[in-house]
């Protein structure tokens, strides 16, 4: 489990293709106390550490993960967002993030106004129902608030701190980004729809408003 608060940007030092796809990543803060079998989120993807040394750690990426995330596009020299898994003594500064990517979105526009940057993202159509205005979403592993929402896209606001300390400051229009929706919305849908409490209904912004969440 993670919080969506990126600890640092790592540098991809090696990409090993083959039967098992591996990434060797240089980091500093995330290496503190990290050992084999620990979990680290790389651009929002929960991966298991299989090897460490004084400056780097190595993770394996399964074919299924490559197919559903943008990790297959990573190359040597790229920067990646890194976060160690949550401990019982950690602050939950963002929101509950599992590191299981729900889909890949595309950045349709980036608008810079003064100190604030707004990013508009087009998610896969199957995820739109889980996204609510003022709700939370993880973009590249970064916990963000939905500032605006349309049928086929959503907008997030990026502060100067986020731009400096995560890879979102390096992203451009047309780039693909990993998305993880709020897990609570998915459980609500399963309980209410599949459980037959509200047959045929889907969780939407209007449904949440009627239920008293707005």
DSSP codes of every residue in 6-17: --EEEEEEEEE-
pLDDT at residue 189, rounded to an integer: 78
Helix (H) or strand (E) holding 164: helix 160-165
| DSSP per position, 173-207 | TT-EEEEEE-HHHHHHHIIIIITSSSTT----HHH
Q: Which residue has the tokens 């993030």?
A: 97
What is the pTM assigned to this prediction?
0.88
Query: pLDDT tens for residues 70-129?
Result: 999 999 999 999 999 998 778 888 899 999 999 999 999 999 987 789 999 999 999 999
- All structural domains of the chain with their residue ranges: 8-84, 103-194
Cα–Cα nearest to 66, from 36, 43, 90: 43
Instruction: Determine what percent of the chain is predicted with pLDDT higher than 90.
Output: 76
63 contacts: CB under 8 Å, gap ≥ 6: 21
Which CATH architecture is the domain 8-84 placed in? Beta Barrel (2.40)
CATH class of 103-194: mainly beta
Mean pLDDT on 12-34: 95
Name the DSSP letter for residue 2: B
Count the alpha carbons within 13 Å of 17 in the hemisphere toward its beta carbon: 7
Q: One fold for both 8-84 and 103-194? A: yes
| Res 87: pLDDT | 85
């Amino acid at each position: 489990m993670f919080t969506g608060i990126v600890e640092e940007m790592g540098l991809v030092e090696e990409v090993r293709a083959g039967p098992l796809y591996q990434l060797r990543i240089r980091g500093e803060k995330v290496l503190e106390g990290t050992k084999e079998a620990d979990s680290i989120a790389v651009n929002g993807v929960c991966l298991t550490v299989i090897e460490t040394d004084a400056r780097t750690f190595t993770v394996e990426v399964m074919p299924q993960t490559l197919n559903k995330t943008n990790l297959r596009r990573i190359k040597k020299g790229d920067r990646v967002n890194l976060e160690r898994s949550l401990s019982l003594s950690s602050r939950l500064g963002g929101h509950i993030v599992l590191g299981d990517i729900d889909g890949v979105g595309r950045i349709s526009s980036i608008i810079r106004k003064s100190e604030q940057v707004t990013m508009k993202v087009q998610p896969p159509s199957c995820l739109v129902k889980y996204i609510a205005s003022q709700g939370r979403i993880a973009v590249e592993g970064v916990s963000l608030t939905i500032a605006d929402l349309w049928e086929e896209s959503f907008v997030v606001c990026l502060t100067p701190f986020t731009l400096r300390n995560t890879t979102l400051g390096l992203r451009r229009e047309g780039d693909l980004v990993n998305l993880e929706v709020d897990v609570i919305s998915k459980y609500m849908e399963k309980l209410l729809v599949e459980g037959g409490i509200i047959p045929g209904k889907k969780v939407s912004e209007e449904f949440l408003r009627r239920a008293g969440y707005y």
